[in-house]
Structure formats: structure tokens, C-alpha cells
Chain A
Amino acid sequence: MGLNIIVCAKQVPDPEGPPSSFEINEAELKVTARGIPPVINPFDENALEAAMRIKESHEQVSITLISMGKGISKAVILKAVAVGADASLLVEGDSLDASLLDSFATARLLAAAVARAGGYDLVLCGRQAADTNAGLVGLGLAQLLGIPAITLAQKVDVAGDGVVVERVLPDGYEVVEAPLPALVTVSGEVGDLRYPSLQAIKAAKAIPQTVLGLADLDLDPSTLGRVRTVALAAPSRERRCKMVEGETPEEAGRNLVLALRQDKVI
């Protein structure tokens, strides 16, 4: 009996881009990414890596990557599936702009997509998306699928009919188990996604891909919650530089300590 894993992956503007890559248009209430590519949300990459580790240590594991949004980059998906996914399912549409959907609408769309992907035993999501950092979609999806959810995993394994998760805590981790099917949100502690070779990326064009539109899903689009941006502004950053004087290096050092104490830094 095989194990079917679904990994949900969102495309976001490369979060490693410099601040100048994000053009904030306060009048039109939108942020435009300039000179940076879309990438798979890094936490979703962690989820895919967790899936790959399960696949390596168990037999008959199948991984399906699901992505949803407006203008999904095929090359980015290709690179992700090239690490070892067995299939991908994309839900595309102009109305699926992630910045216009609220988290629960995204979860509903993903739940409908999961239903189209066939059977599943384990759903893995990133702990949060690097663009919104809301961290709500995974839990919403579990709620809609009616399965248990475990958040913030640093290690995911399957044993018998259940999933065993090391869950990150502020001062360590706890081990949590749940029966399958289940959903786990994965944290960065799992480790970076492995790099596929160029040959693997090219060969990944042969991996089965299903592309669906909103009309293919079993839900009423008019009931999807939409986000309305009320105001948008770049946070102002102020740098104040204070020169610490002193006749000698020792005196300057003492004055620095006093200044830091005065500012309650130490």
C-alpha cells in the first residue's frame, strides 16, 4: 500500500531580493516586484524537502506538488518537481491573484484542488508564506479537509498508520503524533530543499502535470473572501548615528558602555 503525499507550494517574489526590488505604489495600493523572479516560498521548499526525506526512507511514496495563483511560472514549478515529485497540479487564473484572496479563500481553493488530485495520506505545507507571513492557510486547509493538523515541524516521519512530527518550541521541540491522513506545516529547521541538477530540471518536463482553472474546481467563486487593501505605505526607516568620543581608546570604550546603558541596550 503506497503513501501519497501532497505538498502545497506558493510562488512568491524572491524574498532574498534587496529592499529596492519591491516597488510600493501607494496610490494604486500595490507592491510590484522589480528585477527579481518568482520562487517557491522557502517554507514550502522545506515542506517538499520533508516529503523527499520520507520518500527516501519508505517504499512506494508518491509526491504531488500543488500550486495555485495567477501567472504561475512553469520554470519554477519544473525546478521544484525535478527534485523528485511524481506529479504536479496547477490551478491558474487571473482572479487567483494571491494578494486579492484572503487566507481562508486560498485554503478553500487548495481544498478543492486536493480533491482533484486524488487520494492522499499526508498534506505538507510551509509554516507561512514569505510574502504575507500570515501562516493561516495550512490550518484552514486541514479544517476544510477534516483532518488533524500539526504545525511548525522540524522533522516529519511516517510510522504505521500515523505521522510522527518533531514540533519546534521556543526552547526545543516536542514529539507529536497524529493518525493519517493528516496535515503538517513545516518550518525552516527541516533544512533547505536539495538542488536538482540541470539535467533533472530538463527531464522534469516529462513529469505529469495537470493544469486547471477556477471553473474546474467544485466551489462557487463568488463566495471566496477577497482582500481589500485600504492603505499601503513603506515603513520609514530612520538611522541615527551618534559618535562616541574619548581621548583614549579606553575612554571611548567606557563612554560607549555608558551610552549603551543609557539607551538600555545593555
Chain B
Amino acid sequence: MALADYKRDMEGCSRCSSCKWVPFNQIKSWRFAKNCPSICRYNFHAYSGSGRMIIGNSILEGRSELNDSVAEIIFRCQMCGACDTACKVYRDDIDLTEVLLELRAYCIEQGELIVEHMAMIDALKREDNVLGEPKARRGEWAQGLGLKDINSETCEVLFHAGCRYSYDPDLRDTLRGQVRLMLQAGVDLGIAGAEESCCGGRAYELGYRGEAENYADDLLSRVKASGARTLVTPCADGYAHLKFLYPRMGKELGCEVLHVTQYLQRLAQQGKLRLRESVPLLVTYHDPCHLGRMGEPFLADWREDKLQRPMSLKRSGRKGIFDEPRDLLTSIPGVELTEMERIREYSWCCGAGGGVLEAWPDFALWTANERLEEAKATGAEALVTACPWCVRVFRDAAAESGLELPVYDLADLVMLSAGITETARA
């Protein structure tokens, strides 16, 4: 697909600005009624989903040209998908996220590159992770856990840690705890260790599709060699890419793909994971974009008139992973869940995605702080989420703004309840 393939989507925009707001029937207050960090922060129509579609159509028709300023507007967006979800409440014939992805790929093809993203892709090519950390150290987090090495043995379940979890020292206890929970439940678990690579999804979202395909091929061959029937990842970004992007690119992994919260919930339901200890805490849950609305499985592309498209193929954002994390959370004795105003498919983004954290960290932290304020307004004692990128940016934002709200990964609380002693930090 190319930008031109979405011409009808772009020219079909009626500029109603629904893409800027939580679906109207879900708005609870004026304070938390907006859904798009980009338009909310910059307040010019160009920074909305609609504005970017108008830009795309204009470039396509030769009425305007792509330059550094236009490219910056296109990329000052977390690719959170909130605009798409809101648009699709009213429209069946516009795939807004697809247009944004095509615009980014177009920028890359035309050489309109954001230097921070270029440096990130260079680091990815060099070290196989988006943080530019040494590849040789990728598996260090697993030392002493006794996990199978899929480079030399087969396993039932392959654990793909992802880039952020593999290297962020602040998240190491959480990652090790997730694995220990699974081992305790008797799961035959393997990892690729230093040979694990990025899933390539972030490269795709930045427009570097060729790079994404290279990494998809790499992961595909590793999964096949492992013999695993299930792949579990704690990275919400990775989950969305494996669940949607890979099959869309024709890269079938040939195994079940689950986010770690889904898998832990399954183990709890099977009685293999016992949540005994009470964790008396009033919490609120943040839906990571890529686990929630962006985490829908790929079904099929529709290249005909979208008004004739079966509803089951419309990517509404409602078929993502929303219930399992909440079920797991509320099955922990003592935990009480209070919801924010913007939840599930109309959740507000953490701010870290789409290359924003790397290129405009101030924008990422501003977006995260907006969410922290919403969380604080619920009266919750802590914010819980299920994505390493969300945890990272929320903790950094809270530290910067001085807002006192502990941020936990859902697995941290599960560990506490299951009696796993890796230190859970907030």
C-alpha cells in the first residue's frame, strides 16, 4: 500500500474534528474530554488526524510540498490511534491510522527524516534494539533464572522480552518477576537471550518499513527454530506488532501470541498461579494504546469501497486487550480498581510512542503528566499499567513534575500477591 491508496480516505474527511475528542457519548467532563495529545498540545488543525489527512491529500495532489516543517508536524504524533478510534465511531470509510503510517513512510522515502529517528534506526541496525544498547548484553537480565536458551533447545513457550524491558535497569525486577511467576507455574519457558532482536514495530511506525520487514523475518525464523507453540511478550508495542503488523505483512509466526498479562491471567484461572497475599491498594489502570485499541488482531485488508466493508473487518479499537488486565488486577486480594474518565479504546496515550519520546521528550512528558493528573483525580493511590514504555514515561514525568503517584507494572502487584520476592519498585 502507498499514500495514494488512501486518497478516498483523505479526501473523504469532512473536517468534523471528532478525531480530537473522546467519542461524545463517552465524555464525562470537559477537563478530560480531549483524546489527541498532538492537537491538545499544539492547537492547530494541522496537528490533528484530520489536519494530517488534509496535508497528505494536498501533497498527493501537488498543491503543497513536503518540507522539514511539514515533516515535523507529521511526526509530532504518538501514533496512539485515538483519532482513528474516535473517527470510526462516526465513519466506516476512513482508516486514519493507516493514513498516518503512509504519510510517515512517504516522508522516509522522500528523505524527510527526523534526525533523532535516523539515529535511533542506526542504533537499531547496529545493536538490534531501539535503545542503542550493546546487543551482547541483551540477555543479561535473565542471569540465574534457569531459562531455556532457544538457540540450542526447544521450548513450549517463547518469552520475547522486548527492547525496553531487556535494558531498562529500573524495570529489571518486574521482568524477572514475570518470568519467575511463569516458572513457578511450571511453564516450559525459553528465551533467545543475546540473540533476541527488536520486533521491528517501532521502525515500522517511524516509516522505516524495510527495516521492520527485516526484523520480522529475523523473529520469524527464531520462533520457528524454538518449536514454541506460544509466544509471550511483556512489551505492549511488540504485542500489537506481532498481532497485527506481522500477519498483515504476511509474516505468520505459526504460534499463539499473548501479552504477559493475558498469559498470567490464564495461569491464574487455571489455578497454576495463586494470588494469596493481600495488596491493599486503591489503583487506577491505564490502557496502553498498543495493548488496547492498537492491539486488535489482524483479520484482513479491504481494498474495495470501505462503505461495503463488513463491520468485523473495521478496526474499531474495541477488540483490543482491555478485560484480561482488569480481571487479573481485581483478582489480587486487597486491590480495588477505580477507573479514569478516558479508558479502554478511548484511553489517553502515555506519550512515549511513535518516536515522540526520542525526538521531543518534552512533549512525551507533557502527555504523560496529563494522564497522571487524570489518574490522580480518581483518588487512586497508584497508577497501574502493562507496558514498559508507559511505566518509563509515567515515572519520569512524575519525577519531573513532582506529582506524587506511584506507578506500577501490573506484574509488580501480581508478584507481591504471589509471594515472589524480586523487589517491586514504583
B266 near A: Cβ within 8 Å? no
- A37 nearest CB neighbor, chain B only: B108
Q: Is the CB of B111 within 8 A of A36?
A: no
Q: Is the CB of B2 within 8 A of A34?
A: yes
B220 near A: Cβ within 8 Å? no
Chain A residues with CB below 8 A from B115, complex form: 75, 78-79, 198, 201-202
B217 near A: Cβ within 8 Å? yes
- A199 nearest CB neighbor, chain B only: B119
Q: How far is the CA of A20 from the CA of B113 in the complex (A)?
A: 21
Q: Is the CB of B111 within 8 A of A37?
A: yes
Specify which of B109, B116, B126, B217 is in contact with A37 (CB 8 Å cutoff).
Answer: B109
B213 near A: Cβ within 8 Å? yes
Give the one of B111, B112, B208, B217 with max A CB within 10 A. Answer: B111
Interface string of B87-115 (1 = CB under 8 A from A): 00000000000000000010011111111
A75 with B112, Cβ < 8 A, contacts A16-B214, A21-B210 known: yes
Interface size class of A (residues with CB under 8 A): 20 to 34
Q: Is the CB of B210 within 8 A of A17?
A: yes
B209 near A: Cβ within 8 Å? yes
Interface string of B107-132 (1 = CB under 8 A from A): 01111111110110110011000000
A36 with B113, Cβ < 8 A, contacts A16-B125, A74-B68 known: no
A35 with B111, Cβ < 8 A, contacts A16-B214, A195-B122, A195-B126 known: no
Interface string of A83-106 (1 = CB under 8 A from B): 000000000000000000000000
Q: How far is the CA of A87 from the CA of B209 in the complex (A)?
A: 32
Q: How far is the CA of A251 from the CA of B186 in the complex (A)?
A: 40
Interface string of A1-23 (1 = CB under 8 A from B): 00000000001001011101100
For chain B, the count of residues having a C-beta within 8 Å of the partner chain is: 27
Interface string of B208-231 (1 = CB under 8 A from A): 111111100100000000000000
B207 near A: Cβ within 8 Å? yes
Chain A residues with CB below 8 A from B214, complex form: 16-18
Q: Is the CB of B109 within 8 A of A35?
A: yes
Chain A residues with CB below 8 A from B119, complex form: 79, 198, 201
A221 near B: Cβ within 8 Å? no
- A17 nearest CB neighbor, chain B only: B210
Specify which of A18, A76, A201, A202 is in contact with B213 (CB 8 Å cutoff).
Answer: A18
A71 near B: Cβ within 8 Å? yes
A72 near B: Cβ within 8 Å? yes
A35 with B113, Cβ < 8 A, contacts A14-B210, A18-B217, A195-B126 known: no
Q: Is the CB of B207 within 8 A of A35?
A: yes
A191 near B: Cβ within 8 Å? no
A36 with B126, Cβ < 8 A, contacts A18-B217, A75-B115, A75-B118 known: no
A157 to chain B, nearest CB (A): 27
CB neighbors of B among A174-232 (8 A): 195, 198, 201-202
- A35 nearest CB neighbor, chain B only: B209
Q: Is the CB of A35 within 8 A of B208?
A: yes
- B359 nearest CB neighbor, chain A only: A198
Chain B residues with CB below 8 A from A14, complex form: 210
- B125 nearest CB neighbor, chain A only: A16
- A20 nearest CB neighbor, chain B only: B213
Q: Is the CB of A11 within 8 A of B210?
A: no
Q: Is the CB of A38 within 8 A of B210?
A: no
B131 to chain A, nearest CB (A): 13
Interface string of B389-402 (1 = CB under 8 A from A): 00000000000000
A168 near B: Cβ within 8 Å? no
B99 to chain A, nearest CB (A): 15
Q: Is the CB of A198 within 8 A of B109?
A: no
A18 to chain B, nearest CB (A): 5
Q: Is the CB of A71 within 8 A of B111?
A: yes
CB neighbors of A among B195-217 (8 A): 207-214, 217
Q: Is the CB of A35 within 8 A of B217?
A: no
CB neighbors of A among B57-113 (8 A): 68, 105, 108-113
Q: How far is the CA of A79 from the CA of B119 in the complex (A)?
A: 9
- A202 nearest CB neighbor, chain B only: B115
Chain A residues with CB below 8 A from B116, complex form: 198
Q: How far is the CA of A165 from the CA of B116 in the complex (A)?
A: 36
- B2 nearest CB neighbor, chain A only: A34
A25 near B: Cβ within 8 Å? no
A256 near B: Cβ within 8 Å? no
Chain B residues with CB below 8 A from A21, complex form: 209-210, 213
A214 to chain B, nearest CB (A): 19
Q: Is the CB of A73 within 8 A of B210?
A: no
B109 to chain A, nearest CB (A): 6
Q: Is the CB of B217 within 8 A of A38?
A: no
- B203 nearest CB neighbor, chain A only: A35
Q: How far is the CA of A234 from the CA of B93 in the complex (A)?
A: 35
Q: How far is the CA of A206 from the CA of B210 in the complex (A)?
A: 31
Q: Is the CB of B208 within 8 A of A36?
A: yes
Chain B residues with CB below 8 A from A202, complex form: 115
Q: How far is the CA of A121 from the CA of B68 in the complex (A)?
A: 35
- A38 nearest CB neighbor, chain B only: B111
Q: Is the CB of A73 within 8 A of B112?
A: yes
Chain A residues with CB below 8 A from B122, complex form: 195
Q: Is the CB of A36 within 8 A of B209?
A: yes
Q: Is the CB of B210 within 8 A of A36?
A: yes
Q: How far is the CA of A74 from the CA of B109 in the complex (A)?
A: 13
Name A residues whose Cβ lies closer than 8 Å to a Cβ of B.
11, 14, 16-18, 20-21, 33-38, 71-76, 78-79, 195, 198, 201-202
Nearest first, the 3 A-B pairs at minimum CB distance are A73-B111, A35-B209, A17-B210
A-B contact pairs, 16 of them (CB 8 A): A11-B111, A16-B211, A17-B214, A35-B108, A35-B210, A37-B111, A38-B111, A71-B111, A72-B111, A73-B110, A73-B113, A74-B68, A75-B113, A75-B114, A75-B118, A202-B115
- With A73-B111, A201-B118 known, 5 other A-B pairs at CB within 8 A are A35-B207, A73-B110, A79-B118, A201-B119, A202-B115
